[in-house]
């Protein structure tokens, strides 16, 4: 692989850097695993209130599927911390590139959602190397984001047709 600095630049995750990369094999479709860590201050944002805290209770590896590099599916690995916030109690740190409890990054979710507009969900799942259920959840989250941001207009006219009052036929 290239240098870690180049991998960090290609990954495009602000505030993180690549520590280690490894591949499953020499095949053209082998999975690429990238271990990342935060750079800069050692204060972590609370997932509840967003305040930066430095009291770490524990940490454990967490993985996300990300956009593929060439034909290689990518898995990001990060040691996510559980922090002790004065206001919220014990919470996990907030990760900017993925939603809470999600197993795919926001940009892969966006790409799966765009692909699901033009092809069946099962085809988008195969194309991105994820399970059908993971692709379906990504599509549902993409559509929920779209629904929140679309402009809402009140209808000008409301029509009713074939209204019957009383017993049915």
Average pLDDT over residues 4-33: 82
Lowest mean pLDDT among 55-69, 90-104, 151-165: 151-165
Domain count for the chain: 2
In a domain, 166, yes or no: no
- Specify whether 81 is located in the same domain as 4: yes
Distances (CA, A) of 11 to 54, 57, 66: 26, 29, 9
Residue 137 parent element (H or E):
helix 132-149
Measure the CA–CA gap between 124 and 14, rounded to whole angstroms: 27
In a domain, 159, yes or no: no
- Confidence band (pLDDT; 50, 70, 90) for 165? confident
Helices and strands (H and E) in the chain: how many: 4, 7
Per-chain mean pLDDT for the chain: 87
- Specify whether 19 is located in the same domain as 79: yes
In a domain, 165, yes or no: no
pTM of the entire predicted model: 0.78
CB 59 within 8 A of CB 79: yes
Range of the domain at 73: 1-97
């Amino acid at each position: 692989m290239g240098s870690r600095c180049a991998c960090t630049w290609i990954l495009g995750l602000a505030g993180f850097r690549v520590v280690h990369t490894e591949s499953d094999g020499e095949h053209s479709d082998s999975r690429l695993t990238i271990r990342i860590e935060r750079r800069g201050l050692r204060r972590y944002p609370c997932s509840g209130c967003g305040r930066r805290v430095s009291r770490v209770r524990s940490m454990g590896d967490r993985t996300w599927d990300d956009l593929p590099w060439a034909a290689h599916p990518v898995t990001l690995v990060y040691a996510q911390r559980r922090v002790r916030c004065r206001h919220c109690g014990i919470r996990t740190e907030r990760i900017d590139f993925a939603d809470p409890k999600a197993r795919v990054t926001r940009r892969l979710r966006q790409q799966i959602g765009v692909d699901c507009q033009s092809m069946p969900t099962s085809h988008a799942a195969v194309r991105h190397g994820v399970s059908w259920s993971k692709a379906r959840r990504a599509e549902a989250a993409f559509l929920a984001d779209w629904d929140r941001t679309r402009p809402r207009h009140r209808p000008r006219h409301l029509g009713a047709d074939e209204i019957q009052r009383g017993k049915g036929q």
